[in-house]
A and B are shown apart, each in its own frame.
Chain A
Amino acid sequence: MSRPDGPSGDQNAKSTSSTEPGSADGDTPDDVSSAAGRDAVSTAAEKRDARKIVTGEAKYTADYGGQFPDLAEAAVRRSDIAHGVVTDIDTSDAEAIEGVYAVLTPDSAGMPDGPYTSAGQSYPEPSPWDLRVLRRRVRYVGDPIAAVAAKDTDTARAAARAIDVTYEERPAVFDPDAAVSEDAPRIHDPDAVENVQSGADYDRNVEAHLAGEIGDVEAAFAVAAERDDRSVVETTWETPYQSHCVPEPHTTIARRDEDDRYHLVSSTQVPYHVRRQLAHLFDVPIRDVRVTKPQIGAGFGSKQSMVIEPIALALAIAADRPVKLEATRAEEFHAMRFRRPSRGRIRSVVTDDGDLQAIDMSVTTNSGAYGPHGMTAAVSVGKKPLPLYAGTPNLRLDATAVHTNLPVAGAMRGYGAPQGHFAVETHIAEIAREIGMDPIAFRRRNLIGEGDVETASAILKSGDGHGRRIRSCGIDECIERGKAAIGWDDVDQPPEDHRHRACGVALATQGSGIPGDELGAAHIKMNEDGSFILQTGAVDLGTGADTVMAQIAAEVLGARPEDILVQPSDTDVSPFDYGAYASSTTYVTGQAVRKAATEARDQLFAVVARLLDEPVDDLVAHDRAVHAESSGSSVTLEELGYASIYGDDAREQVMGEASYSTDESPPPFAAQFADVTVDERTGEFEVHELVCAVDCGAAINPDLARGQITGAMHMGYELAAGGELTFDEEGRPNVAGFRDYGMPRTADQPPLTPILVETHEPTGPFGAKSVAEVPTNAVPPALSNAIRRAVDVRITDLPITPEKVKSALDQRRESADDV
């Protein structure tokens, strides 16, 4: 290990594996309920890339550029108009610039022209194939039309600017409601798109439409109309475009390697999907494409889309040299991928006692110009939050994904759930107010719990048998711990009469992978010194997934996490993995790692059984050795490393491998709280604290899990009250950089308190469920609910701004005056 001063010094030695943290240790944070019996998991093992990060030695895609002396830099010429057809592309001026190696247009020889989807999903992708690498038909300001490779970035950009593009403009449409009207401009030609999604109607710019029902919603409303012990509550909501603001811009180095294959070093969340999709696009066998994932400067879903890789590869082929394409920040803010805007309506029936009888939810999402993730994210707006109240006998969900001439929505942390939780959890708060119940008591009365079988997440599937049994659920404790942390029962009002303080709450859930549509695999082999090399396809985007995988393997093998060397994913080397999305990595790939490590341990046990003449059943692995429990004799892993490879008899490489796939997707749960003071004269509000208590099952690495929670709350707070991508009347982006966008900074990010509420998920690796997405979901509704409680106005469209609060307060006063 390259950690000569690593955290293994004697000065740190305090406990043995039999006196675990989490028992009586006063230093143990009380949010990790019990780590008894665990060595390497449930510990805050140092993030394995932490040291190379702080020394600047971690190598991200762009940092590999120096390895290629003949590297060309690239730039993309993008559409200046929101909708139209490119009638002419004159590249002569660009080609005349010294140092330009290649200029590509849609008509260039060898340019892939088939349709594809940028959505990095499993095969066959549910998303429509509606994209071309370079486009004559342009559908938003930012569509790539031409691309340049040149000796340096300045030259490439100058050449891209020098390309003369002539357009025939068409009318554009930017509002999803307007887009579905009959006289709206038609954005896609159905004959040019391969779309297997339900309900596509390109004559009305509908990318997909799906509806599902459990029970009989109309009957429930009919009953409500008849009876006076039923209330009907209806609310609406709207959410905007949100940028992932990935720190590292999308970056790809593409080249033809010495074996005449295509090799890409790319900032991707989905190396295997990119490999397959590129092979398809460039019409080469999959074996001729290799995708290497280096250190990634975060993804949050944005790098689940194959946005720049095809352009970089086409340029590398045309220029016959390695090409680096690095998105500019301006491109990140209009030409990559985004959280999709949503709007909709929920109505529900509730009894006077507080029993939900029906929830009817309709949602429209704005896919923007193309369809990656359109249907799956649109339905997630309902499918993700509704399981919270899955006991509601009558549920209906109607989801429509609509195209407009705005930037392309894709996957983003939460994947529809933040929009859906804003819808559902503000609605639930309004129901509680309507019937005069405490919002927490009302939720508790209707909430899902351990042992329940919920079908809401499968509401769009026909037939029975799609129930999901909840095997672990800590949401009650999440509520209690969150309440205590935020001071729910103990809010001091400010001395000024015009300032009002209140707490708001919202609950959240998510999945752990896509049920029935995940595959993780792992391979682990032993070195002579008792260490192991672990290969997985899991894609660590900065989350610490590699550290978690090492901890899981170490726990099985009785090794230390730092004894497990984790290889970054590379499609030539790593076992297959669907990639980093849908909160699947720890839950799915973690199980593959556990299984592979168990297989290796079984081999170790066989070696030890021979060496010590002890029965295998009596062997256990811990403290870097295999022990015979009865006799107390043991062999260290290092001794075993040598013995297995250089021994006198039965030499073998100890190695394990396993795949894991599952139909399970156990939901993590969270309770989000916001503490806010609102100035009723100005609408200004101050968020004192955001608290999120999360049941992620067992936290394999509590530090990393907490980091996921605070980071997710940051992102949720931005959706609630910060950034918003807006566009002018021509569809041009108003946001070109961070200064135009309200991403919270240290000075304006409210304090964030993460709480881990550990449960044990029996289907997860050492009891783990997912953690990274669920805390993204509930900041917006918690803040809206807090403001509602503070000054009695409801903000239904995000982001919440002082102007909107002021306007709502003014309206409330006016209507009060009218009465």
Chain B
Amino acid sequence: MKIRLTLNGEKITLDASRSDSLLDILRRAGYTGTKRGCETGDCGFCTVLVDGDAVKSCIRPAARADESAVETIEDLGTQADLHPIQAAFVDNAALQCGFCTPGMIMRTKALLAENPDPEKAEVREALSGNLCRCTGYENIVSAVADAADRLAAGDRSDAATDGGRQRKQCTACDYEGVQE
């Protein structure tokens, strides 16, 4: 069957079998930023936005996604021009292996769209369907708070700096200023 999506703002039609999940057709179409971790909706690595809602794409039948607007990690910033949420994850060292990160970021995007200034407990509640094995979550929760601040400040261009975090000076960043 044909699944018509507005995928990251573009109209696209994807082939699907009856048993395909939304995750299956996205990955097959090359949107591999969305990760497969369990196929039972328990890990959140496959989280994408469907009509603005965070959805675990591994348990969303492709057929049910027909005619919906789907947003994946590929729609956010680029490495050269990170989205504020992505920049917050980078600058807060909120990632290690990275397998959960795209889903975590999409979940964060949905959260902050709904609740632009969440309390820490609200962040923890909102992310509780997205597992991370590497970080212990501390820096992820900090990154979400930081992302909220950046978005509130209308921060789109400052994505590459370490923004809201008072972190220690990084000498590796300083050479431009000390030439000669």
Report the bound CA distance from A296 to B138 in whole Å.
Answer: 22
Minimum CB–CB distance for B92 against chain A, Å = 9
Minimum CB–CB distance for B75 against chain A, Å = 9
Closest to A38 in B: B171
A297 and B173 contact, CB distance less than 8 A: no
Q: A7 interface residue, CB < 8 Å from B?
A: yes
Q: A592 interface residue, CB < 8 Å from B?
A: no
Report the bound CA distance from A423 to B139 in whole Å.
Answer: 31
Complex partner residue of B135 from A45, A50, A711, CB under 8 angstroms: A711
Q: Mark A30-68, 1 if CB is under 8 A from B, else 0.
A: 001000001110011111011111111111101100100
Q: Which residues of B contact A2 (CB under 8 A)?
A: 79-80
Query: Given A53-B101, A57-B33, A711-B96: A247 and B134 within 8 A (CB)?
Result: yes
Q: Which residues of B contact A27 (CB under 8 A)?
A: 166-169
Residues in B76-106 with C-beta less than 8 Å from chain A: 76-82, 86-87, 89-90, 93, 95-102, 105
A624 and B175 contact, CB distance less than 8 A: yes
Complex partner residue of B169 from A4, A5, A21, A59, CB under 8 angstroms: A21
Query: Given A707-B96, A737-B38: A45 and B136 within 8 A (CB)?
Result: no
Interface positions of A (Cβ within 8 A of B): 2-17, 20-22, 25, 27-29, 32, 38-40, 43-47, 49-60, 62-63, 66, 154, 244-249, 295-298, 300, 326, 328-329, 541-544, 551, 554, 560-562, 623-624, 702-704, 706-707, 710-715, 737-739, 743, 745-749, 751-752
Q: Which residues of B contact A702 (CB under 8 A)?
A: 168
Complex partner residue of A66 from B19, B30, B125, B131, CB under 8 angstroms: B30
Q: Which residues of B contact A29 (CB under 8 A)?
A: 168
Q: B133 interface residue, CB < 8 Å from A?
A: yes
Q: How large is the interface on B (under 10, 10 to 19, 20 to 34, 35 or more residues)?
A: 35 or more
Q: Which residues of A contact B72 (CB under 8 A)?
A: 56
B17 and A154 contact, CB distance less than 8 A: yes
Q: List 8 A-B contacts (CB under 8 A).
A: A7-B170, A43-B170, A53-B98, A62-B32, A245-B131, A247-B132, A747-B124, A747-B127
Closest to B177 in A: A13
Q: B66 interface residue, CB < 8 Å from A?
A: no
Closest to A58 in B: B98
A46 and B90 contact, CB distance less than 8 A: yes
Minimum CB–CB distance for A641 against chain B, Å = 16
User: Which of A706, A714, A743, A746 has the most C-beta atoms of chain B within 10 angstroms of its own C-beta?
Assistant: A746
Report the bound CA distance from A398 to B54 in whole Å.
Answer: 53
B73 and A56 contact, CB distance less than 8 A: yes
Interface positions of B (Cβ within 8 A of A): 17, 19, 27, 30-40, 42-43, 45, 72-74, 76-82, 86-87, 89-90, 93, 95-102, 105, 123-125, 127-141, 159-162, 166-179
B161 and A12 contact, CB distance less than 8 A: yes
B171 and A20 contact, CB distance less than 8 A: yes
Q: Which residues of B contact A715 (CB under 8 A)?
A: 133
Query: Given A5-B81, A55-B33: A737 and B98 within 8 A (CB)?
Result: no
Q: Which residues of B contact A54 (CB under 8 A)?
A: 73, 76, 82, 86-87, 89-90, 95, 98, 101-102, 105
Minimum CB–CB distance for B95 against chain A, Å = 5
Complex partner residue of A28 from B35, B134, B168, CB under 8 angstroms: B168
B43 and A329 contact, CB distance less than 8 A: yes
Minimum CB–CB distance for B137 against chain A, Å = 5
B141 and A746 contact, CB distance less than 8 A: yes
A247 and B78 contact, CB distance less than 8 A: no
A749 and B35 contact, CB distance less than 8 A: no
B127 and A746 contact, CB distance less than 8 A: yes
Report the bound CA distance from A248 to B34 in whole Å.
Answer: 12
Q: Which residues of A contact B134 (CB under 8 A)?
A: 247, 298, 542, 707, 711
A329 and B175 contact, CB distance less than 8 A: no
Minimum CB–CB distance for A38 against chain B, Å = 8
B80 and A4 contact, CB distance less than 8 A: yes
Report the bound CA distance from A140 to B61 in whole Å.
Answer: 34
Closest to B90 in A: A50
Query: Given A25-B168, A751-B138: A542 and B98 within 8 A (CB)?
Result: yes
Report the bound CA distance from A40 to B171 in whole Å.
Answer: 7
